[in-house]
Structures are given as C-alpha cells and as structure tokens.
Amino acid sequence: MIRAFIALDLHQGVLRALAELQQEWQRTAAPVSWIKPESIHLTLKFLGNIANEQAAEIQALLLKVAAVNAPLRLQPMGCGAFPSIKQMRVVWVGLQGAVEELLKLQKSVEEALVPLGFAPEDRPYRAHLTLGRVKGRRHLQLLQEAVLRRQGFQTEAFDVTEVVLYRSELRPEGARYTALFRAPLGREAA
C-alpha cells in the first residue's frame, strides 16, 4: 500500500517567493507547522492508501484525462486562511489565471477516479497553495495581522504542463513526496 495524491507542480521561482512569504510569517512565532517549500504543490485529489496494482490503473486514467486537458498558466496571488482569518487553521496563497480550466481539470480527475472506488469530495474544490497548518493560538493575532498585510501578494505566473501522481510518506521531520508518474497535458486537447 502507498499513500498517494494527484497534484500539479510549481515553478522554482514561485517556490522561492512562497518560501520568502513563509519566512516573513514565521517571524510572528505563531505555532504553525510550515510546509517545506520544496513540498508545496497544488493538490487535485488526495487518494489516501492505494494498492500497488491500483497505481497502474490510476496512471492509465491520468494519461487519458491529461491528454484532453490543455496546459494551464496560473499565477499565485492573494493569501488568506481556512476557514477564516479569525479562526485560521490553514494559511494559504490563492491562484489567478486559468482557474476555470484548472477547475475543469480537477473535476475531470475526480470523475475519472469514481469507477476505481474513489468518492468525490463533499466540499467544492478551492484552488490554493497550503503554506502551513496552525497548531495553537499563541501569537495568532500577529500571524492574522501578517496575513492581512499581504493580501496583495503575488508571484510570477507559471505554466502547468503535466499532472503528477505522488507518493506521500509521513515521517517525523515532515511528509516526503515522491513523484511516481507524470502525465503530460494537452496531447489531444483542441
């Protein structure tokens, strides 16, 4: 069994800008479990534990879905928290650009996985980049203020050219992600 998810990779320049934003917010000393910058990605679907045999089926499915969806251009822009700034549990950066196409891609992936036994999410998909998970209330007001100050945050735009199946290994020092398969976007897109 492997713990897996489907995601889109980010450009190195984007990851550097997100790391700088994290460093700025870390100075608030709020108790946040920060995502390692090299591990930040755009999740399309969390799969949970899958059997090794299922991985091959998922790969074939991703090839089909990716082939009929065109590459995307996205730009990280804006920031906030789930469920809200006042009750933050997750701090994130939003996305602009080909968001409609991104939503179509995510829906295609989710629908294609249903025959393999993966239930669709109950909540609507909200495209975002998770930077950290809040673990307590100490210094939280400082973090809330810091996030509000950076509402206008943006990085360079980047191109998404493939969908990636990742393995997630939970370790004491944090999750480690390994790309298992990459499906190129747009082979059959009109």
Which residues contact residue 97 at a Cβ distance below 8 angstroms, ignoring those fewer than 6 apart? 72, 73, 74, 75, 157
Would you list the domain boundaries of the chain?
Answer: 2-184
Provide block-wise average pLDDT over 10 residues at a time, the chain (190 residues): 96 97 97 94 97 94 97 97 96 98 97 95 94 94 96 96 95 87 82
What pLDDT does 39 receive? Answer: 93
Partners of residue 73 on adjacent β-strands: 159
Q: Sign of the CA dihedral 49, 52, 55, 57?
A: negative
Determine the topology of domain 2-184 in CATH. Answer: Cyclic Phosphodiesterase; Chain: A, (3.90.1140)
- The residues near 46 (Cβ < 8 Å, ≥ 6 apart) are 5
Instruction: Quote the pLDDT of residue 189.
Output: 53
Residue 173: what pLDDT? 77
Predicted local confidence at residue 174, as pLDDT: 76
Residue 172 confidence (pLDDT): 82
Q: Is 6 in contact with 102 (CB distance < 8 Å)?
A: no
Q: How far apart are CA 22 and CA 19, in angstroms?
A: 5
Instruction: Please choose, from the candidates 41, 42, 74, 77, the residue with its C-alpha nearest in 3D space to the C-alpha of residue 150.
Output: 77
Does residue 8 contact residue 44 with C-beta atoms inside 8 Å?
A: yes
Collapse the DSSP code of 21 into the 3-class scheme (helix H, G, I; strand E, B; otherwise coil) and give the result: helix
The predicted structure's pLDDT at residue 188? 66
